[in-house]
Chains A and B, each alone.
Chain A
Amino acid sequence: MIRRAALGLLLALAPVCPMPAAAAVEESRPAPEAAPEIVVVGPWQGIPRPVGRDEEGLWAEADEMERRIASSARRLKDKALEAHVRGVLCRTVGDERCRDVRVYLMRVPLFNATMLPNGAMEVWTGLLFRTASDDELAAVLGHEFAHFERRHSLAGYQRARRNTDAAVWLSMLGVPVVPEMFIIGWFGFSREQEREADLLGAAYLRQSGWPGDAAARLWQRLIGEARATATGRGRNPDRLLKSGIFDTHPGMRERATYLAPAAGANQGIRPESVVSLRTALRPHWGDLLSDQLGRNDFSGTDFILEQLNAILPDPDLLYARGELYRRRGHPRDLETAATLFTAALAMPGARPETARGLGLVELRMGKRESGLCHLAAYLGARPDAPDAAVLAPLVKDMPPCQP
């Protein structure tokens, strides 16, 4: 009897814990035609304040987490870059919404940004590395702010607690509980929140005058990177593009698809938006590149750098690709690296490390005189470089030369 009553309770709870079948998105099948989903930005109700014990607890935890972020050794303490990222956020969501947000840049070479329920936003350098322009950055920051505005942290916490409470009650009543049932429900719920944040983020883009296709454009590039990485490592690239039942985010292709109709008429990347972000990133480009190269993902990195350079040619991007090929060092890679470094040096604003890269490649290719000449040029521009003590003896007795 008790078991039957418990089973009734389980069925009554079913909408709270959606079963996985609907959640798995088979993206290889064409999606049925549906009316495009358009979300409109509503009036700002003021910075969300914690209401009730649940939210007060979440805020207390967020405050503690923010203290750790602010003092972390991973934090990129560059006021100019922080101000640039914050400026992009404020333009996107408006000064009123932006007022109480704190932005922290963290040196982590992965694509991610998060926002705590107390208004602290964390942006990882791996995201900045892959973002082509201010409007693409705006798309990600707007998405994160949408989570904040819709109080998704609280909803997620309450949902998780309801599910675990239900599991405890059911097990006490003697109903065999399968924990995965609740866990899978949580993952589906998380994907729905991500979708909601994507669409509200697209609304911010439209209202603030950024090109509305920025998010879809960024996702398309990330799809390309994921495919290139998978192919380079001998994996099936299509596997990565589906959202499975254990994914917390919608699949990349699914995102690119539903974001496209929300883009509006204002579309296309603007050169000034690209230059603005690249100028802000330039002082950190060496570290960003070094962190990315450390991931040992030749194909994915090559794809991203080539795509970014195709948008707007840039000596930093050519230098980065040159380094990628130089470090792999296959015989044909040296030729490619030399070509890339040479092209970068022909552009205004090439960093001195480009001459270093070309010099080292030329030495390996047996072009000693030209190689040493480029190394001398590098050391002339960077006498305090970390590797100056190793390279200086090579060019000690060099006559003056013009690379």
Chain B
Amino acid sequence: MSAVTRLAAVAALLLAAPAAGSNRLVPPGTPVTVARSAMKVTPPVEMNRLGARPGRQAELWTLDGLPLNRFLLVAGVAAGQPMLRERDRKDRPLPRFDPAVDATGLFDFFSQSLTAEIPGVTITLVALEPAERGGCSGVIASWRAVTTEDEVERSGRALLCIRNAQFHAVSLLAPSLHYFERDRPVWQALVDSVRF
């Protein structure tokens, strides 16, 4: 095999590899840094962290697969930045974070970002309550969501908060039937473990 052929084979292998990092298991009981930020959470059970991240400041975790339990963790979104990666700036622009937003506006920012990320989703706010974890102040939001993709009703719950003028979120979205209530304690443990 000539040097040129070998080089081409290596290049082909590199190109064939997935652009994003591979999925990883996250062991329970160990603090884990989220999206290379100052935020750490400690999973209560073994969880899957997806290699493909929905944004520079966001990670997706799951127990059984995203349709069944979608844990979206967002950390350190600065002023003027979107919460997730803006895939199509012209046709599906994302809202930008404004640190001056009031507590109710945190949910508007979060839900509008999700609407752009999950095609055909409709979101209905159920409740907002004040919350603070690890010096990050904001709200805990509960909502219901339906997508045109599978028309399953899902329930969502999220800690949405601001620390040092940066946006952070720990959220769960799961089918209202069975999965949401089953996995809510895992979300609660993640939220209660938030540290900076």
Contacts and interface: CB of A to CB of B under 8 A. Distances in A.
Interface of A: 68, 72-74, 107-109, 233-235, 287, 290-291, 293-296, 327, 329, 360, 363-364, 386-387, 389-391, 393
Contacts of A360: 102, 104-105
Nearest to A361: B102
Contact of A108 (B100, B102, B120): B120
Interface residues of B, number: 34
Contacts of B94: 296
What 7 A-B pairs are tightest by C-beta distance, nearest first? Answer: A294-B115, A73-B153, A389-B129, A73-B146, A387-B128, A72-B151, A390-B128
A386 B115 contact: no
Given A108-B148, A386-B125, A294 B112 contact: yes
Contact of A386 (B95, B126, B146): B126
B127 interface: yes
Interface stretch (B18-26, B64-72, B85-93, B184-192): B85-93
Contacts of B128: 386-387, 389-390
Interface in B72-94: 90-94
Contacts of A107: 122, 146
Interface string B116-131: 1000101111111110
A316 to B, nearest CB: 18
B129 A74 contact: no
A74 B151 contact: yes
B2 to A, nearest CB: 38
Nearest to A69: B151
Contacts of A393: 130
A233 B129 contact: no
Contact of A296 (B92, B98, B125, B130): B92
B9 interface: no
Contacts of B122: 74, 107-109, 287, 291, 294
8 contacts: A68-B151, A74-B148, A108-B120, A109-B122, A296-B92, A329-B105, A387-B125, A389-B128
A294 B125 CA distance: 12
Contact of A73 (B98, B115, B152): B152
B181 interface: no
Contacts of B104: 360, 387, 390-391
Contacts of B123: 290, 294
B101 interface: yes
B108 interface: yes
Contacts of A387: 104, 125, 128
Contacts of B112: 293-294, 296, 327
A295 B115 contact: yes
B126 to A, nearest CB: 6
A327 B120 contact: no
B108 A389 contact: no
Nearest to B145: A73
Contact of A390 (B101, B115, B120, B130): B130
Contact of B111 (A234, A287, A294): A294
A327 B128 CA distance: 17
A364 B98 CA distance: 12
B165 interface: no
B91 A233 contact: yes
Contacts of A293: 108, 112
A386 B93 contact: no
Interface in B139-157: 139, 146, 148, 151-153
B103 interface: yes
Contacts of B129: 389-390
Nearest to B104: A387
Contacts of A108: 120, 122, 148
A327 B151 contact: no
Given A73-B152, A107-B122, A296-B112, A389 B93 contact: no
A360 B105 CA distance: 10
Contacts of B108: 293, 327
B103 A390 contact: yes
A327 B97 CA distance: 11
Interface in B169-189: none
Given A296-B94, A364-B102, A389 B130 contact: yes
Contacts of A287: 122, 124
A293 B126 CA distance: 17
Nearest to B111: A294
Nearest to A71: B151
A73 B153 CA distance: 6
A296 B93 CA distance: 7
